Amino acid sequence: MLGFITRRYVNIHSWALRPPGYRKAFFNGYISYQVGYYGYFLLLRAVRNRKPSLLAGYLKAKFSNSIQYPIKPYVRYLQIQRMRNLMKKVTCDVR
């Protein structure tokens, strides 16, 4: 590579100031509004995953009048199915 030599420097330290995945959660919240997720569902998801930026992305999309895709009934159906499957797992494990 043009005469360059690669080396390892052990005396140089670096650190990250921002936690990884910060923008990803914000973007997922923004997209969740556009797809049609309900606010309370996303609030619970943000609390469970400890990602307040998920809720921040959702609120940004809501107050900036972002477009919503017309698949809200399908999203509601998927949420109900997930809750039913979760309740089945919880009730089957408790005996």
Q: Where are the domains of the chain?
A: 22-93
- The answer on pLDDT for 91 being more than 70 is no
Is the sign of the CA dihedral 57, 58, 63, 67 positive or negative?
positive
pLDDT class of 39 with cuts at 50, 70, 90: confident
> Which pLDDT score, from 0 to 100, does residue 55 have?
93
**2: Cβ contacts below 8 Å, ≥ 6 apart:** none
